[in-house]
Amino acid sequence: MSEPYVPPPTQDSPERIRQQHIGEALLSDDGRIRHTSQAKTIAIEALARRMRSSTSQLVSAAIGLNVGTDMSERLGNHRYVLVPHNERYPSMGADVLHVDELDPNRPEHAPDRVVRMDQPEADTLVRQISVSEIMGAWAYGSNNNVRVLALQEATKEEFGLTQALDWTMDARTRRAVRRELNYNSDTLQDFVRTQYEMTQEVLAERDISELIGYRAMSWPEGAPRPDWFDLDVGDSFQARHRPLASWSADRRIVADWLETRGGPGVILVDRTPARDVLSIPMTGMGYFGQKEWVTLPGNRPSTLDGVSMGRSQELAAEQTAASSVNVGAPALGVEATTLLSASAGHPDGQGPGPTPRWQPLEITDRLDPTDPFDSRMIRVLEGEEPYPDWWPRDDSGYAVTKRDLEFLGIDPVQIKWLAERKAPMGMTPELYEQFGTEMLEALRQDGVDPSTVDIRLKGTGAEFFSGMHKTLPREEELVDAPEAAQHLREWFGDSRDRPLRRPHDAMWRLGLESVPSDFDLDINSTHMIRIARRYWREQHPDRYPGDFMGGHGYLDKQAVHDSFPSLASWAKRWEKKLGRELSLGAFESSGPINATKFGRSISGHFRDTDWIIHNTDKPWPSHTPGEQRQTDAVGQEQKRALADRVVVNDLLAQRGHREASRFDMLLTGMSEEETAAAISAWEALGKPETARERKAGLGAEHTTPETSPERAQQPAMVPEPLRASQTLSDKPENTPKHHQDADLRSGTRTASAIWETPKPPIKSLVAHRTEWALYDDLHGYGRRHRTLTVRTPSKAPGPYEALLHPSTGAAYERDQHQAESGDRGYGE
């Protein structure tokens, strides 16, 4: 049962004065705290100690003008130091410098002034700086920047506030707030909860059960006002407040603030139960100079304590920069709701479907069926071979199909370029080389040496599929977009075998986005961020510092374009050339925040699998796209394509010895070099099943990494040449005596049967070796007589020595040694 509401005491009553004294004593700790910086330092140090969030989480939530990813990622590294901006108040910020950057002539770089990042003091200082930055979002304004709006939402979630006043935002701001919460909601909730716990401890120690506070509210001329605005002073009503709202112990401070606003407004007075007080200046948020505390909304009436009809803006006092910033408005009625719904439909502010501006580059190249790698890709797309390891897949395991490429208008050659890192999606190898070269030149023109940057390509341009934060919609989700639902049916029909994530250009092809997939570039350079910081401080001294960087640590996009005009011009030219947007994300050299450190599965941090365009380890000028940048997976695939051309000796395979038949491979027209390369690749891969074996059904009984379980269970098939040989005459005069004896002993035909197996024309083979020399060299049947008594497919009987190519002398000598020692070759 709720407690009965007791209205605040009347103005100028002794109770009001007494309550003001109680509030002032609380805020100043009975006079011990005399100025704002003192109270803030106490709160920052206490919060940094008590918050449960890790240091990496705190840094992520505090990213901005004074905090970057280097502050987290360099912790523990003895080669880096923190150089505080203010010796007396180090929590105001610090630079992260490599020890080689320290200047002995600068006092702030003295050993006793810097903090080594491998020392415990560094972690403490980073936590304090981060807490200070988060508190700064509230100090800048309670609803006028992305971080504080995220903080409001985090408070609403942490305390289960269902009656708090909502805030309307345009689509861009709402996306930014959502992104902030995606990364930092746990930390922001920890931030407000820890303040609440500390504040409740202080109130309990002082035996304070309630506080009387004042709050002013104003509206611009002509803006919607709440329905209680016309009530009389002294009337109580149910006013909805934001999850976090500031109240002052001093009515005069609130009245003076309202006077500066110029527009119509009111003063409210509230009897706030102690349980609804979230923070005071020495426990967290709250401006000491204005005698503030911050409260949760509760569920009680407020009382109208004063009304101002406003003055003209010309007569109003000059406002602060922060007070003039408007990010959305209170959700007071239909007008505000309509504003939100009207702007939230399309992220870029354009309608769905293709627009004339964005027409992606047309790719005219095609796969070459005569190329082994291309041929393998064609077979995969036709369903004749399984998808190789390097094939584009989303995190559900779905592999892109021919059906997908046809709907998306993507030629398979782009998959080849993507796999070989010759070019990202939407580019040709020639354009990609020009793209990278001109980008580095633009950076040079902006005063950025390429040795100071690490450039990586992210998104569908590098991966084909989007990340885990973006799913491909289903028909049931597109009730309000029937054309897109119809496109999905055209794409997949009734099949439920679909990707979980969004393929490259999918949302554009479906008509759900007005632009095709962009090129998402991460440019990681502390040097660039320092240049941008200087520019920001000179050009935007009054802007909220947290806007300098957002999300997972990327530089404000406008700051990128303004600080690096040559890079901006380069991007504009290439957007026109490629028909796609270029997203330039600038980070410090340590890259995006590693969110996996605090349990998040979605993180943009550096990975070994990243598409690296340029860095000091892989500088752009030192490679030609598609050569040094081929991945190991593609190298393996090229080996497999070569290995597929191997011809396995059928007879040896029947006896459990799978060896390549160089002789048969040369008969197919392969050169010596091609044959050697194919055999080398085949052996390096563990002798996988070859294309000829798959076609003939052979190789199933041989255990190799490439053999499928289905094939492994099939009975071995007899090779055609062997079956043919079994029908040949067994007349002794047609078989060398040495093999006649073997036949009589075994009762079955041996390798000698292949002598009489018809062979294809020798073509150019004879110029290198005779077929018998090759046969002996490869299979070592040995014990040849000096004179062959049978005709081979291309040679009449004659001296055996005469049939040998000079380079097969070693094989001949081995054969003779076997004959003399009585050893038998494989064919015996």
Q: Are 278 and 192 in contact (CB under 8 A)?
A: yes
User: Quick one: tokens of 630?
Assistant: 């081929």
Span 760-766, mean pLDDT? 40
Give the residue from 782, 790, 789 showing the smallest Cα distance to 811: 782
Residue 713 CB neighbours (<10 A): 9
- The rounded distance, in Å, linking the Cα atoms of 437 and 415 is 23
User: Quick one: tokens of 763?
Assistant: 């073509």
User: Quick one: tokens of 728?
Assistant: 């040949």
Predicted pLDDT of residue 99: 95
Q: Are 592 and 605 in contact (CB under 8 A)?
A: yes
Burial of 693-712, coded b for 16+ CB within 10 Å and e otherwise, reads bbeeebbbbbebebbeeebe
Highest mean pLDDT of the ranges 354-363, 380-389, 707-716, 753-762:
380-389
Residue 766 CB neighbours (<10 A): 13
Q: Are 83 and 114 in contact (CB under 8 A)?
A: yes
- The rounded distance, in Å, linking the Cα atoms of 207 and 511 is 62
Q: Does residue 746 have a pLDDT over 60?
A: no
- The rounded distance, in Å, linking the Cα atoms of 536 and 543 is 9
Question: What's the alpha-carbon Rg for the chain, to the nearest Å?
Answer: 39
Residue 822 CB neighbours (<10 A): 7
Q: Are 655 and 697 in contact (CB under 8 A)?
A: no
**Which residues are within 8 A (CB) of 727 and not within 5 positions of it... i.e. 6 or more apart?**
none
- The rounded distance, in Å, linking the Cα atoms of 62 and 134 is 6
% of residues, the chain, pLDDT over 90: 55
Q: What angle do CA 8, 11, 17 make, to 5 degrees?
A: 85
Q: What angle do CA 453, 456, 458 make, to 5 degrees?
A: 150
**Which residues are within 8 A (CB) of 710 and not within 5 positions of it... i.e. 6 or more apart?**
none
DSSP labels, 239-251: ----SSEEEES-H
- The rounded distance, in Å, linking the Cα atoms of 243 and 347 is 27
Span 206-213, mean pLDDT? 96
515 half-sphere exposure, CB direction, 13 A CA radius: 16
* Adjacency order of strands within the sheet including 245-248: 236-237, 302-308, 265-273, 210-218, 245-248, 292-295, 277-279
- The rounded distance, in Å, linking the Cα atoms of 242 and 268 is 14
Q: Does residue 215 have a pLDDT over 50?
A: yes
> CB-based burial of residue 782 (10 Å sphere; 0-12 exposed, 13-18 middle, 19+ buried)?
buried
Give the Å distances, CA to CA, from 551 to 56, 138, 556, 579, 610. Answer: 14, 18, 10, 27, 20
SS3 236: strand
Residue 489 CB neighbours (<10 A): 10
Helices 412-420 + 632-643 axis angle, to 10: 120
Q: Are 652 and 658 in contact (CB under 8 A)?
A: yes
Predicted pLDDT of residue 681: 86
pLDDT digits (tens, 9 = 90+) for 104-159: 999 999 999 999 999 999 999 999 999 999 999 999 988 989 999 999 999 999 99
Q: Are 94 and 113 in contact (CB under 8 A)?
A: no
Give the Å distances, CA to CA, from 612 to 221, 445, 459, 615, 620. Answer: 53, 22, 13, 7, 9
Predicted pLDDT of residue 745: 39
Residue 159 CB neighbours (<10 A): 19
- The rounded distance, in Å, linking the Cα atoms of 480 and 512 is 11
pLDDT digits (tens, 9 = 90+) for 513-523: 999 999 999 99
- End-to-end CA, the chain: 101
Give the residue from 685, 742, 695, 690 showing the smallest Cα distance to 720: 695
Predicted pLDDT of residue 568: 96
Please state the pTM of the whole predicted model: 0.71
- The rounded distance, in Å, linking the Cα atoms of 394 and 380 is 17
Alpha helices by DSSP H, listed for 241-362, are: 251-261, 334-343
Q: Are 344 and 410 in contact (CB under 8 A)?
A: no
pLDDT digits (tens, 9 = 90+) for 637-675: 677 888 889 999 887 777 677 889 988 888 888 888 889
What letter would DSSP give residue 631? -
Q: Are 141 and 322 in contact (CB under 8 A)?
A: yes
pLDDT digits (tens, 9 = 90+) for 280-313: 999 999 999 999 999 999 888 889 999 887 665 5
**Which residues are within 8 A (CB) of 482 and not within 5 positions of it... i.e. 6 or more apart?**
none
- The rounded distance, in Å, linking the Cα atoms of 537 and 93 is 14
The better pLDDT of the pair 474, 640 is held by 474
Span 339-346, mean pLDDT? 34
Highest mean pLDDT of the ranges 173-177, 338-342, 760-764:
173-177
Q: Does residue 779 have a pLDDT over 80?
A: no
> CB-based burial of residue 222 (10 Å sphere; 0-12 exposed, 13-18 middle, 19+ buried)?
exposed
Pairing of strands 115-116, 80-84: antiparallel
- Torsion sign (Cα): 553, 556, 562, 568: positive
pLDDT band at 547, cuts 50/70/90?
Answer: confident
Give the residue from 695, 719, 700, 664 showing the smallest Cα distance to 379: 695
Give the residue from 59, 50, 57 showing the smallest Cα distance to 132: 59
Alpha helices by DSSP H, listed for 366-428, are: 372-381, 402-408, 412-420
What letter would DSSP give residue 312? -
- The rounded distance, in Å, linking the Cα atoms of 297 and 244 is 7
- The rounded distance, in Å, linking the Cα atoms of 378 and 372 is 10
Q: Does residue 210 have a pLDDT over 90?
A: yes
What letter would DSSP give residue 116? E
Of 86-100, 320-334, 525-539, 629-643, give the lowest mean pLDDT range: 320-334
Predicted pLDDT of residue 358: 80
Q: What is the pLDDT of the chain when averaged over all its residues? A: 80
Q: Are 11 and 305 in contact (CB under 8 A)?
A: yes
pLDDT digits (tens, 9 = 90+) for 248-269: 999 999 999 888 887 788 999 9
pLDDT digits (tens, 9 = 90+) for 498-515: 999 999 999 999 999 999
Q: Does residue 786 have a pLDDT over 70?
A: no
**Which residues are within 8 A (CB) of 665 and not within 5 positions of it... i.e. 6 or more apart?**
645, 646, 647, 675, 678, 679
pLDDT digits (tens, 9 = 90+) for 159-185: 999 989 999 999 989 999 998 998 899
Predicted pLDDT of residue 635: 63
Q: Are 219 and 263 in contact (CB under 8 A)?
A: yes
pLDDT band at 802, cuts 50/70/90?
Answer: low
pLDDT digits (tens, 9 = 90+) for 703-732: 333 333 333 333 333 333 333 333 333 444
Span 457-473, mean pLDDT? 93
- The rounded distance, in Å, linking the Cα atoms of 828 and 823 is 10
